Structure 1
């Protein structure tokens, strides 16, 4: 290879190298961004209010056709306070365990009765009581996607509710009678359905606004006795099928 050919070849290689460098300089440099981790443990706390319903009042002394409820019974709203710990498995599924105190809710109901079967009402019973619960739940949620930092979700839960009925009174105004019952507590199977949305304030903090339908099972009083302390049969008042529509506001803190 003569000197001229070597010179031409070297010049060509140099030109190709410079072209490659120029093209490489035109490629934008994208900085590396570390991905935000998904999953991990979180703590939650919440407060709310309950809107509770009763299936019916029942008692061994209620015989068919002798008692008619003029007011089947209702509860006042009551506060809810809960805490929990959970785990986010991925961007769409998480679960938690919660413990909750459901504050005292006042209860009233009114019936009338015909014990003689002569179609003449013999008297009435004006009932009053208080109710509160301790609720333990295991919950699972499906997060449905995130838009503008807001993530709607649905879920369900199962657990146990310790229902306490206290301050029960039965006032028979027409006949001047009063009966009462001591407080009593009962554990029941409980289940719930959830819906709500979380707002991601920071990478670690999410504000949660939720709705829940919860079935708390039953409740009952102690043995009802007359004002004179007499009673011929064990007859606690049964609060059958306690349910509630709850609204709560809380915060979740994720350890990421």
Structure 2
């Protein structure tokens, strides 16, 4: 909540000079499409409801008690350039995070009470405020425009799960969680011509809540949420 409050306050402060700049600038609208590769993490995984015992997360990228995974996705955005500031509305889709684990014991044998295998798909809608720095950088004759920004919005995390609750049930279900998302980002655009620019960026994004269940019998798996480190590559078209 502290991080979310910081984003809201900063957006409010920065948007005031952005409106002032807009009065003296003709402005341009633009659209973009980007591919993303991400290193995502889900932390605080716990058994809930009728499930009891320690959780042992597992997948190819896991480390200790938390889960990490490599995922991909795509974003599409529309924005308006006020001169030094830009406001941007972005839709994003990412797939998939493998949320897998065992309950009671990590390896097969007495004491393991359940196993879950879940695929997480995320969709985001984010409003970002971006600041373009005044520089004279160039690369192979093309002008570079570094920038940084913050954003806030909503995320929908969909989990498609197989849960084997030994001796009780074997069930597949889908659960959807909607919550607040926020991001911090920085990158650079390369102006190709008057209309087109290429863009590369890094961002840290909090993707909100992820939850499995409740299934029949009350079996659930809860987490403290998903975070992701993204690299994006894309094109921007100015109208």
SS of residue matched to 1:182: strand
Q: How does 1:79-158 map to 2 (within 5 A)?
A: 79-90=72-83, 92-112=84-104, 122-123=111-112, 125-146=114-135, 147-148=137-138, 149-158=143-152
What's 1:67 paired with?
A: 54
Per-residue CA deviations over 1:209-255 (Å, capped at 9, x if unaligned) read 01111101112223234xxxxx2xx3332232111111110111112
Where does structure 2 lack aligned partners over 5 or more consecutive residues?
1-24, 59-64
Q: Kindly indicate whether the alpha-carbon contact (under 8 Å) linking 1:73 and 1:107 is maintained by their aligned counterparts in 2.
A: no
SS of residue matched to 2:193: coil
Deviation at 1:197, TM superposition (A): 0.7
Decide whether aligned partners of structure 1 residues 248 and 60 sit closer, same or farther in structure 2, where only a CA change above 3 A counts: same
- Compare CA radii of gyration and give the structure with the larger one: 1
Find 2:180's aligned residue among 189, 194, 203: 189
1:55 matched to 2:43: yes
Q: Kindly indicate whether the alpha-carbon contact (under 8 Å) linking 2:88 and 2:128 is maintained by their aligned counterparts in 1.
A: yes
Give the whole-Å Cα distance in 2 for the aligned partners of 1:184 and 1:70: 19
Give the whole-Å Cα distance in 2 for the aligned partners of 1:244 and 1:155: 16
Decide whether aligned partners of structure 1 residues 179 and 237 sit closer, same or farther in structure 2, where only a CA change above 3 A counts: farther
Give the whole-Å Cα distance in 1 for the aligned partners of 2:74 and 2:57: 34
Report the number of matched residues: 199
Deviation at 1:51, TM superposition (A): 1.3
SS of residue matched to 1:217: coil
Give the whole-Å Cα distance in 2 for the aligned partners of 1:110 and 1:178: 15
Give the whole-Å Cα distance in 1 for the aligned partners of 2:70 and 2:162: 18
Find 2:159's aligned residue among 146, 165, 170: 165
- The structure with higher relative contact order (CA 8 Å, sep 6+) is 2
Give the whole-Å Cα distance in 2 for the aligned partners of 1:204 and 1:137: 24
Deviation at 1:181, TM superposition (A): 4.4
C-alpha RMSD over aligned residues: 2.4
Per-residue CA deviations over 1:76-126 (Å, capped at 9, x if unaligned) read 322211111100101x2111001111122222224436xxxxxxx733544
Q: Kindly indicate whether the alpha-carbon contact (under 8 Å) linking 1:74 and 1:109 is maintained by their aligned counterparts in 2.
A: no
Give the whole-Å Cα distance in 1 for the aligned partners of 2:68 and 2:99: 5
Deviation at 1:70, TM superposition (A): 6.7
Q: TM-score, normalised by structure 2?
A: 0.74
Deviation at 1:44, TM superposition (A): 0.8
Q: Kindly indicate whether the alpha-carbon contact (under 8 Å) linking 1:130 and 1:168 is maintained by their aligned counterparts in 2.
A: no
Give the whole-Å Cα distance in 1 for the aligned partners of 2:50 and 2:192: 57
What's 1:45 paired with?
A: 33
1:213 matched to 2:204: yes
